[in-house]
Amino acid sequence: MDGVYGFHLSVMVLESNALYLQLFKNGEYFDTMVIYGNGNFTTVSEFWSIELAKGDGVWIRTDTQYVDGLIGTLHGWCNTQFSGFLTS
C-alpha cells in the first residue's frame, strides 16, 4: 500500500565495540546509524519516516568498511529490534 511508513531501529552493542548500520530503500542508500559501546552495553535508537509505494523494500545492513579494528557485535535476546508500520 502506498503511503508514509515509520521505521524504528533499536540496537544494543557489546562494550568496546563499534557498529555501522545502513538503511536502504529499494537498493539505494538512505541513512547511516553508528553505535559505539563505551565501557558497557550501549543502546541507540533511530526513527525514520519514509514514503513508499507498493512493492518498495526497506532493509538494514551492516557496513564494516568504516570500522577501525573494532568489529561490532549486536547483542541479541530481543535487545536489537527493527520494525515498520504505515503512518498515513
Domain at 37, CATH number: 2.60.120.40
Full-model pTM:
0.82
What integer pLDDT is reported at residue 65 of this predicted model? 60
What integer pLDDT is reported at residue 13 of this predicted model? 83
What integer pLDDT is reported at residue 37 of this predicted model? 78
What integer pLDDT is reported at residue 1 of this predicted model? 92
Taking only the tens place, the pLDDT of each residue in 50-73 is 999 999 999 998 876 655 555 666
Total structural domains within the chain: 1
CA distance 8 to 65: 24
Q: Are 87 and 4 in contact (CB under 8 A)?
A: yes
Q: Which residue range is the domain that position 57 belongs to?
A: 3-86
For 65, residues 6+ apart whose C-beta sits below 8 A from its C-beta are none
